[in-house]
Amino acid sequence: MVVKVHGPPYSSSTRTVLACFVEKGIDFEIVPVDMLKGEQKKPEFLALQPFGKVPVIQDGDLTLFESRAIIRYYAEKYAGQGTSLLGKTLEERALVEQWLEVEGQNYNPHGYHLLMQLVYATKLGMPQDEALIDKSAELLGKVLDVYEERLSKSKYLAGDFYSLADLSHLPFAELIVNATDKGYLIRERKHVNAWWEDISSRPAWKKVMAMAI
Amino acid sequence: MAPVKVHGHPLSGATATVIACLHEKQVEYEFVSVDLSSGAHKQPSFLALNPFGQVPAVQDGDLVLFESRAIIKYLAKKYEGQGPDLLGSTLAEQALVEQWSQVEGQSFNSPCSAILFQIIFVPRRGGQTDEAVVASSVEKLNKVLDVYEEKLSKSKYLAGDFFSLADLQHPVYIHYLVNACGKGELISCRKHVSAWWEDISSRPGWKKVTEMMKP
């Protein structure tokens, strides 16, 4: 049975899920959601995801939303196949969880503002908020200073092994580096940049980006 | 075996969430108070525990952990054999716990914290509550709570008919919303959210946390 992923392939949180599926060798089918037409606010979609956000997956009887919950479930369920993404011990798993929370609580909010302003505002016909852009870049910079220190001591965020914690950073970093003028935030930090080069050249990530429209 | 050390602050929501989990799982712990008002959380000795300078941070033997949602997950897993099961008993149940745990972290927490910050903390620092921020945060929180109301009309707790980490992540924030911000009607106007709040706030583990929070 093929897992159905409801979401547009250009959505960052959908890409997080797709990256995990490709790493784990899980078969899936993308069911596009036309967000520009507001499909995510229609009753049929809200029946799957009541907050009207993408992505949401359907796998047999299971309907699941929140990308970080989806990737944890599949990394656990398919622990025995594909790339190991959760570490090997309880302690390693705890560090994966910690850095996944850091991504969700410290990296994501500032990244979100930057991308909404710099990539999507003009597409949606909204004026850009320069003050918000500057503040978000400053705050993201401070977060990345901590990452720089961490990555000077270990190859990946949770330790010397690639995990969900690194994977969840890919979609926003890809846009920040390649679709905005704020790429320096990553490029000018030696260890963050080396980490970015490493994780973005993984075949699974390249495959996900090739699916993007 | 040395007890778990929690470096935190009695008025910090994230600290209270970790303490609630320790009580639920009947885990002995030692509380080390971090004096936020004097900037202790930005000093090198604390930054060595959490480089983001945020409470809480937890030490369990050689392991140092921060981020309350990661900490409670670790504790619930490590102490699986004691106290109530907070994770879910099948992979699918565990996934739903994760889902609603993320909902708290990604949708509930931000507008709720904004309300708490404006009404409780800003005046304490001599500033003025920004009513526009409060109003827009209340609007966002109302939308989230509408979804909770619908969900809780179908199951007793967020992830199903069992109390889990997803529910445990909420009490401290609702406590402040209702008791310190005058926003109780956000809860009381919703029949199922109200019943759920009554239930989760009467748990002995939560009552112990409120004792810690008293000045």
Residue B29: the pLDDT is: 97
Q: Tell me how long chain B is.
A: 215
B 91-110 → A contacts, CB under 8 A: 91-92, 94-96, 98-99, 101-103, 105-107, 110
Residue A213: the pLDDT is: 55
- Chain A residue numbers with beta carbons less than 8 Å from the beta carbon of B74 are 90, 93-94, 97
> Rounded to the nearest 5°, which phi and psi values hold at B62?
-80, -15
Which residues of chain B fall short of a pLDDT of 50?
none
**What CATH number does the domain located at B91-208 have?**
1.20.1050.10
Of the pLDDT bands very low, low, confident and very high (cuts 50, 70, 90), residue A212 is: low
Work out whether strand B57-60 and strand B29-33 pair parallel, antiparallel, or are unpaired.
unpaired
Report d(CA B98, CA B110) in Å as an integer. Answer: 18
**Residue from A20, A22, A43, A45 nearest A32 by CA:** A45
Tokens of B120: 């409780």
Contact criterion met (CB < 8 Å) for A98 and B65: yes
Distances (CA, A) of B140 to B60, B177, B191: 37, 14, 19
Tens digits of residue pLDDT in B38-84: 999 999 999 999 999 999 999 999 999 999 999 999 999 999 999 99
Residue of chain B with shortest Cα separation from A142: B52
Mutation test of the interface with chain B: which of A91, A93, A110, A143, choosing the one with the most B Cβ atoms within 10 A?
Answer: A91
Of the pLDDT bands very low, low, confident and very high (cuts 50, 70, 90), residue A124 is: confident
Partner A contacted by B183 (CB < 8 A) = no
Residue A9: the pLDDT is: 87
- Chain A residue numbers with beta carbons less than 8 Å from the beta carbon of B71 are 98
Partner A contacted by B17 (CB < 8 A) = no
DSSP characters over A87-129: -SSHHHHHHHHHHHHHIIIIIHHHHHHHHIIIIITTTTT----
What is the interface pTM, i.e. ipTM, of the complex? 0.96
Burial of B113 (0-12, 13-18, 19+ CB in 10 A): middle
Contact criterion met (CB < 8 Å) for A50 and B151: yes
Residue of chain B with shortest Cα separation from A158: B65
Report d(CA A76, CA A68) in Å as an integer. Answer: 12
How many Cβ atoms sit within 10 Å of the Cβ of residue B11?
16
**Residue from A136, A147, A64 nearest A98 by CA:** A147
Residue A122: the pLDDT is: 81
- Answer whether A176's CB lies under 8 Å from A163's CB: no
Residue B27: the pLDDT is: 97
Q: Where are the domains of chain B?
A: 4-79, 91-208
Positive or negative CA dihedral for A23, A95, A152, A102? Answer: positive
Residue A205 in this model has a pLDDT that exceeds 60: yes
Residue B1: the pLDDT is: 65
For chain A, domains (ranges, CATH) are 3-82 (3.40.30.10), 90-209 (1.20.1050.10)
Mutation test of the interface with chain B: which of A86, A89, A101, A113, choosing the one with the most B Cβ atoms within 10 A?
Answer: A101
- Chain B residue numbers with beta carbons less than 8 Å from the beta carbon of A93 are 74, 77
Residue A175: the pLDDT is: 96
Q: How far does B98 lie from chain A, in Å, by closest CA?
A: 5
Residue A125: the pLDDT is: 86
Positive or negative CA dihedral for B188, B192, B22, B63? Answer: negative
Tens digits of residue pLDDT in A45-89: 999 999 999 999 999 999 999 999 999 999 999 999 999 999 999
Q: Which CATH number fits domain B4-79: 3.40.630.10, 3.40.50.1220, 3.40.30.10, 3.30.450.40?
A: 3.40.30.10
| 3-state percent helix, strand, coil for chain B, nearest multiple of 5 | 60, 10, 35
Report d(CA A152, CA A155) in Å as an integer. Answer: 7
pTM of the model: 0.97
**Residue from B67, B88, B65, B81 nearest B27 by CA:** B81
Contact criterion met (CB < 8 Å) for A90 and B74: yes
Three-state SS across B105-151?
Answer: HHHHHHHHHHHHHHHHHHHHCCCCCCHHHHHHHHHHHHHHHHHHHHH
How many Cβ atoms sit within 10 Å of the Cβ of residue B207?
12
Q: Calculate Rg over the CA atoms of chain A.
A: 17
Residue of chain B with shortest Cα separation from A72: B95
- Answer whether A13's CB lies under 8 Å from A71's CB: no
Q: Kind and range of the H or E element at A22?
A: helix A12-24
> Rounded to the nearest 5°, which phi and psi values hold at B122?
-60, -50
Residue A45: the pLDDT is: 98
Report d(CA B71, CA B64) in Å as an integer. Answer: 10
Mean pLDDT across chain A: 96
Omega cis (within 30) before B3: no
Q: How far apart are the first and last CA of chain A?
A: 25
Contact criterion met (CB < 8 Å) for B70 and A146: no
